[in-house]
A and B are shown apart, each in its own frame.
Chain A
Amino acid sequence: MKIKYILLIFAATLFFSCNQSDVGIFYGLEKEVKIKDNSLSNNLTIGSMAKNGSELYIAAGRVYTKTSGSSEDWRKVSSPSGYDLSTSLAANATDSNVYAVFFDTDTAEKALFKMPDGGSWTKVTDPIFDGSIEFVKSAGSFILVSTRINSNDGKLYYSNGGAFTEVSNITMIGSEFNVIEFDTGTGDTYWISNHSILYNGVDFDNMANVLELDGDKIIKGLSEPSDPSDPYIYLSYWNRDRSRGYIKAVDGASINAEGDSEIYNLNGLTTFTTEGFEFLLCGTGGRGYRQISSPSDSRLDLATPKNDVLSENYTSAIELQNCVVLDFFVDGGDDGDLYALTATTGLWKNSLSGGTRVWSIE
C-alpha cells in the first residue's frame, strides 16, 4: 500500500516544472550551438549606434569603432580631453561627422562633440545649449540634441550640420525622445515622440501634436513600416499604470490600431526585412526581443522569436533571450546586419553566416 503512495508522489512530480522560457531543458541542450563571441566586452551597455561613411560607432561608456562588414576588432576611440564617458551618439550624413555626448565624471559636466572619420573631437558650442545635454539622435540629414533643464523639463535642438536651432514648438517633458523620418504620403516627414506625445511635420519648425496618450503611457520606440507603401508608423509604449506594453500603428489621423498588451516593458523598435520576410522587432526589458512577422496595422501582437529565417540559432542565444534590449541598428538595409543594443549584455549581431542568419555577440 505504501509503495502505491510513493509511486503516486513520483507520478505527480512528472508534471511539475518552472520555466522562464518555453523550451524544454534537454530539448534546449539538444538544439544548442556555440554562439560566436568576438572581442568586444560582453557586459557593456550600448547606449547608441551609428554609421558614418563605412565606419560603425557605438557609445558604450567609451566610444568604439570598426569598419562595417569587416571581421576586425572594435577599437576604442580616444575621448576628448577632460571628458570620460559617452552613452549617446549619432552620425550626420550632411557634414559626415559623428556627434557624441560626453560626460566628465569629475565635474558631471556634459558636452556635445563632433568628429569626422579618422579625425578628432571638436566641442559643439553654437549655440550654448540650455540645460544639461542628454541625448543625440539623427533623422535624415538632421542631428537632434535634447537637454534636461530639470526633472520635468527639457529642450530639443536640431541641426543639418550648421548651428543648432531649438525646436520651438515642442515642449519637452524630460529629455528622452525618439525621431524617425518617414513620409506617410501626406507630407509628414519627421516624427518625434517625447514622453506620451507624438509629433510630426515636414520640418522641425513646424511640428504638430498628432497623438497624445494618457500621461501614464510613455512612448519608448518609433519605427517606419516594413512596407514603405503603408501609410503609418509603429510605436511602442509602456503603460505605467497597468504595467503593460503595447505596439501601435498610427498615421496621426485615422489609423490608430493597437496590439495585445504585454506584461513586460517595451523598448526600441525597428523593422527588418530578410529573404523577403518582413519583421517588426521590439526590445524588451529583460526578455530579449519580441517580433511580429509580416506586421501591419491589423497585425500588432508580439511573439517570442523561434529558430526562424531571421535567426537559426535563437534558442542557443540564452543571454540574448533574457537581457534588456534597448534598441536596434540596421547596417546595410534589407538582408544587412542587424544589431541589438543591450543593457549590460553587450552588442549582439544578427548576420548571414554559412547560408543562414544567426546571432553572435560582438
Chain B
Amino acid sequence: MKIKKYSIFIIIFLLSFSLINLHAQEEEFPENEENFEYIYGLGDQIFTIKAGLIFPLFLSSPDFNFTSTNLSMGGAGSLEWSTFINSRLALGGEFGGMFAFSPNDRILYMMPLTFKVTYFYRKYPFEFPIYCGAGISFNSIDDAFHLDFILKPGASVYWNFNSEWAFGFNLVYWWVPQIYTGNGDVPASHTRFGNFLETTMSALFHF
C-alpha cells in the first residue's frame, strides 16, 4: 500500500513539473528584455494551477482537546481564477481537492470551493501574495459524506518568468470545522475542527 501512496505523490509532482516545463517551452525569450515591474489594474485576471502535498496537522474538539488526525501525508491540488480590483487586490474563487490515507488505508477526500481575497506585495521579479479563502468543503470517506465550512489563509512566493507566466510555492492552512448538531444520526460530541497544511507548487497565468 505504501508503494501505491508514494506512486500517487510522485505522479502529482511529475505532473506539476511537466506542466511548468511545457509552458516554459512554449514561451520565447524576448530579446533585450527590459527590467520593469508588472502593474495590474482593474479587470486584469489570473489563472492558477497548484499541485503538491498536504500535511494533516491535528484535530481539536470544541473543548480544546487536541488529537492526531491519524492520517498520512496526502496529495492536494487546485484551480483558481481571480480578477484584480486594483493594482494590489484581487478577488476570485478556488476549487481544489486533497486526499490522505487512514491507518486502515481508507481515503479521506476533501474538495473545498472557496471565495478568495488576495493582496499582492511585489519586489520584482518576485511577488508575495497573501490571501484568505472561505467557503465550503465536500468531505467524504467510504460512504460517509459531510459538507463543512472551510477557511484557507495562506501565502505564496512567485517568480515572474515573463509578463504572462509566474511560478511559485504556496503555504496554505486549512481550517475545517466539522460541526454536528446532534439532530441527525451523528451525536454533537463528534464535532471536530480539522487542521491541515497545504504545500504546493503552482503556475500562474496573467491575462
Q: What chain B residues lie within 8 Å of A16 (beta carbons)?
A: 146-147
> Contact at A24–B178, with CB atoms within 8 Å?
yes
What string of 1s and 0s marks CB contacts (under 8 Å) between B4-29 and chain A?
00000000000000000000000000
Partner of A25, one of B139, B183, B184, B187: B139
- Distance in Å: Cβ of B9 to nearest Cβ of chain A: 20
- Distance in Å: Cβ of A303 to nearest Cβ of chain B: 13
> Contact at B104–A34, with CB atoms within 8 Å?
yes
- Distance in Å: Cβ of A16 to nearest Cβ of chain B: 4
A30 in contact with B146 given A10-B135, A25-B139, A35-B104 (CB within 8 Å): no
The stretch from B37-45, B68-76, B155-163 touching chain A is B68-76
- Distance in Å: Cβ of A345 to nearest Cβ of chain B: 13
Task: Let me know if B87 is at the binding interface, CB within 8 A.
Answer: no
Q: What chain A residues lie within 8 Å of B140 (beta carbons)?
A: 25
Chain A, interface residues (CB within 8 Å), range: 20 to 34
**Given A24-B192, A27-B189; 19 other pairs, CB 8 A cutoff:** A10-B134, A13-B147, A15-B179, A17-B184, A18-B144, A19-B143, A19-B146, A19-B185, A24-B178, A25-B141, A26-B176, A26-B178, A28-B144, A29-B70, A30-B69, A30-B70, A32-B103, A33-B103, A35-B104
What string of 1s and 0s marks CB contacts (under 8 Å) between A20-48 and chain B?
11111111111011110000000000000
Within 8 A of A (CB), among B168-195: 176-181, 183-187, 189-194
> Contact at B104–A20, with CB atoms within 8 Å?
no
A29 in contact with B184 given A20-B142, A20-B143, A35-B104 (CB within 8 Å): no
- Distance in Å: Cβ of A287 to nearest Cβ of chain B: 11
> Contact at B191–A29, with CB atoms within 8 Å?
no
Give B193's nearest chain A residue, CB to CB: A26
| Bound CA–CA A14/B176 (angstroms) | 11
Give B186's nearest chain A residue, CB to CB: A24
Q: What chain B residues lie within 8 Å of A33 (beta carbons)?
A: 103
Give A319's nearest chain B residue, CB to CB: B104
| Bound CA–CA A20/B139 (angstroms) | 14
Task: Let me know if B86 is at the binding interface, CB within 8 A.
Answer: no
| Bound CA–CA A13/B180 (angstroms) | 11
> Contact at A26–B59, with CB atoms within 8 Å?
yes
Within 8 A of A (CB), among B55-89: 59, 67-71
- Number of B residues, CB within 8 Å of A: 43
- Distance in Å: Cβ of B133 to nearest Cβ of chain A: 12
A-B contacts, 10 listed (Cβ < 8 Å): A10-B149, A14-B179, A15-B181, A17-B184, A19-B146, A19-B186, A26-B178, A27-B189, A28-B190, A32-B70
> Contact at B145–A17, with CB atoms within 8 Å?
yes
> Contact at B143–A13, with CB atoms within 8 Å?
no
Task: Let me know if A318 is at the binding interface, CB within 8 A.
Answer: yes
> Contact at B108–A32, with CB atoms within 8 Å?
no
Q: Which 4 A-B pairs have the closest CB atoms?
A: A24-B190, A26-B192, A27-B190, A20-B143
- Distance in Å: Cβ of A180 to nearest Cβ of chain B: 34
> Contact at B115–A6, with CB atoms within 8 Å?
yes
Partner of B144, one of A10, A20, A30: A20
What string of 1s and 0s marks CB contacts (under 8 Å) between A306-330 and chain B?
0000000000101000100000000
Give A33's nearest chain B residue, CB to CB: B103
- Distance in Å: Cβ of A40 to nearest Cβ of chain B: 17
- Distance in Å: Cβ of A320 to nearest Cβ of chain B: 11
- Distance in Å: Cβ of B115 to nearest Cβ of chain A: 7
Within 8 A of B (CB), among A128-152: none
Task: Let me know if B132 is at the binding interface, CB within 8 A.
Answer: no
- Distance in Å: Cβ of B135 to nearest Cβ of chain A: 7
> Contact at A17–B186, with CB atoms within 8 Å?
yes
- Distance in Å: Cβ of B132 to nearest Cβ of chain A: 14
